[in-house]
Structure 1
């Protein structure tokens, strides 16, 4: 099974959806959006770039125009179909033309089969998409990965539990699409990857019954992987040679689902560990409802191998702790989010593997989050798949596809308000400290302040129109200083 076969199947499924639903009335809507930003720094302010599903640029001046059609219909016998095509033309971004979304969702009751490239917020732990700094494994920071995804997107009560237990989850396989960008981006002597497959799965449980107790507890796990594909090294003449040819048969798909050691056709590191690049997170949340108030605390513990998946080396020290308050309806503040994140410990600096068995012990530390010796980095089109406070390879000026600073501690605050039905605003303020990596530390601790101040207007007198204007202000000695503005204008409406 190669990538062309997968993409052909995705497009066939997408264009077959209208035929399935031709017996029913249909709803077709459109959207048109234009956005541009300017700034005076080496890079654009971080929040002009981050958590925009990759439709953004780290460059100080960039923009795009996008347009799309959304087909949506509820059918008989609990069936529901949704399909969307979303195209964008961009200036000073990683590509001048982007198929941002092209997907078909077929749902029956609480089950959904999603096929294609779709902007998917973080899952399975729900965070405030407007105010959170983002997920640690995968979320809205990078361009969507085309995939086939079977899921229970919302909590479903498990029968026989008296509404006290509910579950949701998913299983997905897909393919990364950025190998042409990788080949152009890397400099001679550096490595890149092509034809890499994607896998993720999750299970989340919710304990609680709001009809009897205004308290809910959630616990679950998310696991993701890169597998198959080739690793190449760029030559001085611009050509590339294959260094590693990873297996891509059905056995590799099974080993992505149940992590297992690689065979003789994989690199030595995969033979003694697991085949592919695996990472994930444990997720916890506690929500309390008090009249019109909502209080929510959550923890996402990140792990990049089995040593941090369990308490093998003591208590967990890396992850993101968050707290969210939703206020009763008022004119000024609707929600507040605070998050504290650490990726500094990574099980410690020491890595020792006694594969010969001479000493009888092994220390699996220096986890090197988001980096991988075969696939370079957990990224897509230069943007990190996880939290944007760890800037992705797109920021590297030496043509290396790695995270140069994955040992980070950060504080983040997000505040939003809805003064009226026409006006809304949000403010994001982040502060991060960077230490580099264990193998390549920075020359000194570096600090970065990033902020966004944004106002949106959707006038009632101009139905379907909306505009958002924002100011970004960054200060620090990691990404540098930058001040800029961003303007987005959109129009939505029904065709029939």
Structure 2
């Protein structure tokens, strides 16, 4: 049950299992960007705890890696803007499952996922295209330990790190409830996203930000085999910061607001190669007209619907529809509320006479006044197994 992998590999929906074909993806690590090369030890599937007779199981992982977008960042930013190089990566998770569906058709899952950017160097791009090193973050063994067990930064880090934690830390609490009724399967889940200890320990905006979802698997229904609905909100972020202050200026008060999801004053944003590493309904820096490495709009409310079916033994389809409203950030709000509609329509043909072969055609449509209008298509021919 324990595996070790080295390299860049897609791992969508871990540790909280979501329908990878229909879901919009996780908020911390979604399917939206090139995976980070890493060394990763994990228990991929739930492993029963000995002595619990199948009523308690767990899974989890620990990983260290490195971002590979040094060249992209340097080329993307404009003179006068900052970028980072040689940034390191860490993530870990632990999920527990209570229940034994062979004896009771109900299961409860809960656990924690945490990830971070640490180490690396920050640069300023100059007018002549050259760069100036302005900050070196620690990348020694102590930095690896602080990424695993979040701690305040030392004297070799900026003051903001010394009163918070070293590096860009983020994560989510994950919950799921599974109910089995004959051949019907119902799954409800919640991902509570956080960027600091106040949201991590549910002190502010307890139910305001996060993703909720419902998945239904239909029995003996060829037109609709599975359906997923998800609601996403990142609009609250522990509320706006009502006045300017510096960390620790008022030690007698606890001030937590304007968490500025996915953005960081050293690392720019929670992104890789310009694409957001979290949920794709929050577009990453690659879409920024000003070429800044940050999320232009992280205050979002969205609905997502995914439906799949298998009308015949050879034909299948998938449909994804998302609608998002954007407000920008607390610091730089958009000039008006902006809206974006995105959709995907895909049909797949798997002929019985050509074992292992399949072909699919997909159409993607974007319409709205945030990212604008675009249309794309894809034709895929796939062979699995031995080619000859």
Give the corresponding residue for 2:79. 188
Give the corresponding residue for 1:230. 121
Q: 1:356 to 1:167 in 2, by over 3 A?
A: closer
After TM superposition, the runs of 4+ consecutive aligned structure 1 residues lying more than 6 A away are: none
8 A Cα contact 1:354 1:360, kept in partner: no
Give the corresponding residue for 1:176. 67
Give the corresponding residue for 2:48. 157
TM-score by length of 1: 0.76
TM-score by length of 2: 0.97
1:448 to 323, 326, 340: 340
Matched, 1:308 2:199: yes
2:169 to 264, 278, 294: 278
8 A Cα contact 2:274 2:284, kept in partner: yes
1:463 to 320, 334, 355: 355
Give the corresponding residue for 1:217. 108
Distance in 1 between residues matched to 2:336 and 2:98, nearest whole Å:
45
8 A Cα contact 2:66 2:88, kept in partner: yes
Distance in 2 between residues matched to 1:474 and 1:182, nearest whole Å:
26
Larger mean Cα displacement after TM superposition, 177-186 or 245-254: 177-186
Q: 1:349 to 1:358 in 2, by over 3 A?
A: closer
Give the corresponding residue for 1:362. 254
Matched, 1:125 2:16: yes
Q: CA deviation at 1:492?
A: 3.0
Give the corresponding residue for 1:408. 300
Give the corresponding residue for 1:166. 57
Give the corresponding residue for 1:423. 315
Using CA pairs below 8 Å that are at least 6 residues apart, which structure has the higher relative contact order? Answer: 1
1:407-429 superposed Cα distances (whole Å, 9 cap, x missing partner):
00000100000122321101001
1:120-167 superposed Cα distances (whole Å, 9 cap, x missing partner):
112100000000011100021110111111111100111122211100
Q: CA deviation at 1:183?
A: 0.7
SS, match of residue 493 in structure 1: coil
Q: CA deviation at 1:314?
A: 5.2
8 A Cα contact 2:205 2:237, kept in partner: no
SS, match of residue 384 in structure 2: strand
Q: 1:353 to 1:283 in 2, by over 3 A?
A: farther
Structure 2's unaligned 5+ residue stretches are none
2:365 to 470, 473, 480: 473
Distance in 2 between residues matched to 1:347 and 1:399, nearest whole Å:
28
Q: CA deviation at 1:273?
A: 0.5
SS, match of residue 259 in structure 1: coil
8 A Cα contact 1:286 1:298, kept in partner: yes
Distance in 1 between residues matched to 2:362 and 2:8, nearest whole Å:
28
8 A Cα contact 1:307 1:365, kept in partner: no
Question: What value does the CA root-mean-square deviation take over the aligned residues?
Answer: 1.5
2:135 to 236, 239, 244: 244
Structure 1's unaligned 5+ residue stretches are 1-109
Give the corresponding residue for 1:485. 377
1:310-334 superposed Cα distances (whole Å, 9 cap, x missing partner):
1222523100000000011332110
1:437 to 323, 329, 333: 329
1:145-204 superposed Cα distances (whole Å, 9 cap, x missing partner):
111111111001111222111000001000011111111111111111110000000000
Q: CA deviation at 1:358?
A: 4.8
1:144 to 9, 12, 35: 35
1:343-381 superposed Cα distances (whole Å, 9 cap, x missing partner):
000000117666555561131210000000000000011
SS, match of residue 405 in structure 1: coil
1:277-308 superposed Cα distances (whole Å, 9 cap, x missing partner):
00000000000001110000000000011121
1:342 to 220, 227, 233: 233
8 A Cα contact 1:353 1:362, kept in partner: no
Matched, 1:377 2:277: no
1:430-486 superposed Cα distances (whole Å, 9 cap, x missing partner):
100000000000000001111111101122223332221112222211111223322
Q: 1:353 to 1:311 in 2, by over 3 A?
A: farther
Q: CA deviation at 1:385?
A: 0.5
1:75-90 alignment runs, 5 A limit: none
SS, match of residue 434 in structure 1: strand
Matched, 1:397 2:289: yes
Distance in 2 between residues matched to 1:213 and 1:454, nearest whole Å:
37
